[in-house]
């Protein structure tokens, strides 16, 4: 057995080496292939009632990340958003309060720092700037911190970043209420930055005199998380 006979070929070795080669090509060109596949799969996915296509890696949909051991949930009725810190009058918003304010609609991509991107997501909410203005930001304030009702997640923005028109306190997504999985009933959507800045299950906004790094930033991710200009990545910016 041990001697390779005349008609024997070392196919096993070829398979292993072939996979290593294909894997290397995949690492080098996989991003492009994934983009093509996502566009190609999009119509089938939209028409797929089972949701199974979403399980394919190329499907270009959201992946669920939570840093705690449960799916944080709060009903629309019980939801409260507090605004405190260096403000003239600390406020608490109900979901109805937010919905009574002038709404902003954005259709923009969601880009994760791990590489996946969901194209053209429809977001509805109020600008973070309008929420801050309602409470009145005091002089000396330079930054804003966010906390999630998952009890663990935190994020932050400088005041200039927080006042951008493409930074939303979002309560609608793809024409529906933001689901618990996507961080509802209310989450942040920071369009120009990587997804980890878009704090899910938003519970409180604290105006501060300095930027306090958030959950992932303690683990080495950039505080100024501009898409394509941070974390060593060159993704297309979300403008």
Partner 1 sequence: MTSTPGSARAMVETTSPSPERLARFDAGERVLHWINASLFAVMMGTAAALYVGPISAAVGRREVVKTIHVWTGLALPVPVLFTFVTRRWGAGFRADVRRFNRWTADDRRWLRTWGRDSRVRSGKFNAGQKLNAAFTLGAIVVMLVTGSIMRWPRHFPLAWRTGATFVHDWIFLALAVTITGHVLYAANDPDAMRAMARGWIPRPWARRHAPAWEEEATGNVPGPR
Residue 122's nearest CA partner among 183, 165, 172, 192 is 172
Asked if residue 96 binds partner 1 (CB under 8 A), the reply is no
Q: Is 107:122 a contact under the CB 8 Å cutoff?
A: yes
Asked if residue 67 binds partner 1 (CB under 8 A), the reply is yes
Among 36, 40, 43, 55, binds partner 1 (CB under 8 A): 55
Q: Is 205:143 a contact under the CB 8 Å cutoff?
A: no
Among 57, 90, 151, 165, binds partner 1 (CB under 8 A): 57
Asked if residue 234 binds partner 1 (CB under 8 A), the reply is yes
First to last CA, the chain: 65
Integer angstrom CA distances of residue 108 from 7, 93, 152, 238: 60, 26, 27, 7
Among 8, 46, 139, 140, binds partner 1 (CB under 8 A): 8
Asked if residue 90 binds partner 1 (CB under 8 A), the reply is no
Q: Binding mask 134-173 vs partner 1 (x if CB under 8 A, - otherwise)?
A: ----------------------------------------
* Nearest approach, Cβ of residue 146 and partner 1 (Å): 19
Q: Which stretch binds partner 1 (CB under 8 A): 59-67, 120-128, 131-139, 203-211?
A: 59-67
Residue 171's nearest CA partner among 157, 163, 182 is 182
């Amino acid at each position: 057995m041990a001697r390779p006979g005349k008609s024997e070929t070392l196919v096993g070795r070829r398979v292993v080496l072939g996979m290593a080669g294909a894997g290397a090509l995949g690492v080098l060109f996989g991003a492009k292939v994934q983009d093509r596949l996502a566009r190609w799969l999009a119509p089938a996915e939209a028409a797929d009632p089972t949701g199974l296509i979403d399980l394919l890696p190329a499907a270009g949909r959201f992946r669920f990340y939570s840093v705690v051991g449960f799916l944080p949930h709060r009903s629309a009725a019980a939801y409260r958003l507090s605004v405190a810190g260096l403000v003239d009058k600390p406020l608490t918003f109900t979901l109805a309060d937010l919905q009574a304010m002038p709404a902003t609609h954005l259709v923009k991509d969601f880009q994760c720092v791990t590489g996946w991107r969901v194209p053209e997501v429809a977001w509805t909410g109020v600008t973070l700037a309008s929420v801050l203005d309602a409470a009145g930001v005091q002089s000396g304030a330079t930054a804003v911190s966010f906390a999630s009702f998952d009890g663990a997640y935190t994020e932050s923005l400088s005041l200039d970043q927080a006042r951008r028109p493409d930074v939303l306190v979002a309560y609608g997504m793809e024409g529906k209420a933001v689901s618990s999985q996507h961080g509802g009933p209310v989450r942040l959507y920071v369009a120009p930055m990587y997804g980890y800045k878009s704090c899910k299950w938003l519970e409180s906004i604290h105006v501060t005199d300095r930027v306090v790094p958030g959950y992932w930033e303690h683990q080495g991710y950039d505080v100024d998380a501009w898409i394509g200009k941070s974390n060593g990545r060159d993704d297309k910016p979300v403008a």
